[in-house]
Amino acid sequence: MDRRIVIVGFMGCGKTTVAEALARQFGCQAIDLDSFITERAGRSPAEIIREDGEPAFRAIETAALRDVLQAKKARVIALGGGAWTIEANRSMVAEHDCLSIWLDAPFELCWERIEVDKAVRPLAPGRERAFQLYEARRATYELTDLRVAVSASHIAEELANEIVQREVGADA
Ligand code: S3P
């Protein structure tokens, strides 16, 4: 099976590391959409959001996702936490027949990781705001093809293994 995989989930759920672990298992390339945006724009998503605002960032993000999907260079694509909440992005992922996977991590785990590196996530400046976003986004994360429950004891390789096992079933 060679269907491409899009990893989604809240900030701090481990999208990038799981995408990399999956790519190692497949022997293929992974792309992190935020890193792709940073290379292309010469500014990180956090810098773009702070300097130009969230709507400007979302437009850049959608254009970047379109290009990554069209280029077909990477089999595994890790999105930023808000990308999946945009309907146009979900439609593009579906049009490209990618398998979408939600890393469903408990809020406390995400927050622990967000808190240590707050400057990187301007949309979650405090615990309360982060929790509101976490709750508000769950309904759209539910729209993915597969939900993978993440806990603090999971390492990325274990989650990648689980995805490989379940992906075979999902694709059958
Ligand atoms: C965002 C998540 C970030 C980054 C940007 C916006 C969000 O990515 O794309 O700060 O809206 O949840 P991570 O999920 O990798 O932190």
Asked whether 86 lines ligand 1 (CB < 6 A), one says: no
- Ligand 1 center–CA 59 separation, angstroms: 14
The helix, strand and coil proportions of the chain, stated in percent and rounded to the nearest 5, come to: 60, 10, 30
Angle between the N-to-C axes of helices 45-52 and 33-41, in degrees from 0 to 180, rounded to the nearest 10 = 60
DSSP state of 76: E
Closest CA to 48 of 35, 57, 39: 57
CB of 110 closer than 6 angstroms to any ligand 1 atom:
no
What confidence tens digit (pLDDT) does each residue in 27-80 have? 999 999 999 999 999 999 999 999 999 999 999 999 999 999 999 889 999 999
The model's pLDDT over 79-101, given as tens digits with 9 standing for 90+, comes to: 999 999 999 999 999 999 999 99
Which structure tokens are listed for 142?
A: 């539910």
For residue 121, the ligand 1 atom closest to its alpha carbon is: 10
Task: Please give the domain boundaries of the chain with CATH numbers for all domains.
Answer: 5-171 (3.40.50.300)
CB of 32 within 6 A of ligand 1: the answer is no
